[in-house]
Amino acid sequence: MKKICLSIGYPIKHSLSPLMHNAAFKKLGIDDQFIYLSAEVKPENLKMAIEGMKGFDIKGMSVTIPYKQVIMKYLDKIDKDAETIGAVNTIVNKDGKLTGYNTDWTGALTALEKRVKLKGKKVALIGAGGAARAIVYGLTKKGAIIKIFNRSIDKAKQLAKAFRCEYTDLKYLDEIVKMDIIINATSVGMNKDKSPIDKKFLRENHIIFDVVYSPKETKLIREAKQKGAKIVYGYEMLLYQGIAQFELYTGMKAPSETMRKTLED
């Protein structure tokens, strides 16, 4: 019987994780042992889904919007990084014990550091959810100077307090003109006609990172490219966090180039 790995979220139809992981299983010749699936889980069924992970002996689970924080209370153990972040995007089932990890922060950092050294850089982060928490954690470790912009001031304040950074309301987005790096850590870009930022605030010297990977070119990314800004795509974060997930699920070194080509095709 094949070992099952699974992505859950609400919605989940945008997920590219099954494609990426199944390509990796095939590359290593273990597709007869592992299969990766996805499942849309409604909020009222989340606890049942986690119980099912034990009941059906699902080996690994990727957790996406909107469950990265709320899911923590259903797990047996939380990795130190994930506990500090306050969000889980990866669950490993070992002998019926569920351990939560966070690979988002390493995924985001790796993607960004391919473009820029982060120490001392001024970063505008839009959003205060699970993905934002992971990114702030990583940026803080690298010595970046972070300001959080969010629609809900209370959530922004909580995140800023946890990681000792600044925060403000989204209505003050004009401040991003002075920033080096702008990161959208919200789901806004999933609508190809919407951007969290008015293009008049974008500059050629900016580095723009949108965590949304479907569509690959969000409205924010398209408009940033028109201004000549450097781009970090959401699929790059997906790739690097997925490599870390794969190794947690299988205990094997991930075929990173196969995973990259699968996402780029």
> 69-116: per-residue pLDDT in tens?
999 999 999 999 999 999 999 999 999 999 999 999 999 999 999 999
- Same domain as 136, residue 227: yes
* 263 within a domain of the structure (yes/no): no
Find the helix or strand (DSSP H, E) in which 100 lies: strand 97-101
Which residues are marked as active site?
68
- Same domain as 115, residue 86: no
Task: Give the whole-number percent of the chain exceeding pLDDT 70.
Answer: 100
pLDDT over 90 at 13, yes or no:
no
| 136 labeled part of a ligand binding site | no
- Same domain as 138, residue 95: no
State residue 1's pLDDT score: 87
| 17 labeled part of a ligand binding site | yes
Residue 253: pLDDT band by 50, 70, 90 thresholds?
A: very high
pLDDT tens digit string along 204-217? 999 999 999 999 99
* CATH number of the domain bearing residue 132: 3.40.50.720
User: How far are the Cα atoms of 96, 235, 237 from residue 20, in angstroms, in the given order?
Assistant: 26, 11, 13
Residue 83 contacts by C-beta under 8 Å, 6 or more apart in sequence?
none
Mean pLDDT of 188-195: 92
* 265 within a domain of the structure (yes/no): no
pLDDT over 90 at 257, yes or no:
yes
* Residue spans of alpha helices (H) in 60-189: 80-85, 104-113, 130-141, 153-163
- Same domain as 213, residue 120: yes
| 242 labeled part of a ligand binding site | no
Q: Which domain holds residue 249?
A: 3-101+237-258
CA–CA distance, 207 with 219 (Å, rounded to integer): 15
- Same domain as 216, residue 244: no
State residue 265's pLDDT score: 85
- Same domain as 9, residue 88: yes
Residue 1 contacts by C-beta under 8 Å, 6 or more apart in sequence?
none
- Same domain as 210, residue 138: yes
CA–CA distance, 108 with 211 (Å, rounded to integer): 8
| 89 labeled part of a ligand binding site | yes
pLDDT over 90 at 119, yes or no:
yes
Mean pLDDT of 134-163: 97
* 46 within a domain of the structure (yes/no): yes
- Same domain as 119, residue 65: no
CA–CA distance, 251 with 4 (Å, rounded to integer): 15
| 127 labeled part of a ligand binding site | yes
pLDDT tens digit string along 27-64? 999 999 999 999 999 999 999 999 999 999 999 999 99
Query: Per the structure, how many domains does the chain have?
Result: 2
* 122 within a domain of the structure (yes/no): yes
pLDDT over 90 at 14, yes or no:
no
| 129 labeled part of a ligand binding site | yes
